[in-house]
Amino acid sequence: MVNILIVEDEKPISNLIRMSLSKSGYSCTCAYDGIEAADILSETRFDLVLLDIMLPEIDGLELLDYIRPMEIPVIFITAMGSTWDKVKGLRAGADDYIVKPFEVVELLARIDVVLRRYNKNDSVFKIGDLDINTYAMQVTRNGKEIALTKKEYNILLLFARNPGRALYRETIYEQVWGEPYTYGSKTVDLHVQRLRRKVGWKNMLQAINRVGYKLELPNEDPI
Ligand code: CA
């Protein structure tokens, strides 16, 4: 799972970004000032940092000096829209910038581009005993392909990007079908049950009473 650190002192903006990125399958951590961000960065490995420039304690440009040796891509979030600030940010070593207020879809697109540039958006990843190739939209076990419909594939991907997290039927429906969920609909259950049979995840794809489903991976042996 791609880990993103959001460094933004304005909580409504930070919350909006966190919720949007979580929905898109990214794992997010929030820091609200420069020192907190530095502390978190010293303990946890991230694939990308979204960095506000105007921050309490240590500002974004100073924090960037701290992040750069870690070779983590950085996208600046800036309220200052002047060309000079953009140039300064990019020359300081940021990979991209986005100017507030911005559309979430634009942020997601920029994140995608930067992650691809760094090959951090793994095109093939392993989840449980399956390999998922997100470019080919292909699922294999021990090299043998498992034929899934597009909906089943998208449901699998949603679970794979949110292991251990209980997903509401509504969330699954809205993410995979792209339309509002009708209460009482059994569509999600039908698809999840078929998916479960096809991939053989009888115990791993668990139903949660009155909520939805959760992917529970077996504990892996420590390496
Ligand atoms: Ca700020």
119 alpha carbon to ligand 1 midpoint, in Å? 29
Query: CB count, 10 Å around CB of 162?
Result: 19
223 alpha carbon to ligand 1 midpoint, in Å? 41
Nearest to 138 by CA among 126, 151, 153: 153
100 alpha carbon to ligand 1 midpoint, in Å? 10
10 alpha carbon to ligand 1 midpoint, in Å? 6
55 alpha carbon to ligand 1 midpoint, in Å? 5
Residues contacting 109, CB < 8 A, separation 6+: none
Per-residue pLDDT of 19-55, as tens digits, reads 988 877 789 999 999 999 999 999 999 999 999 988 9
Per-residue pLDDT of 113-135, as tens digits, reads 888 788 766 567 788 899 988 77
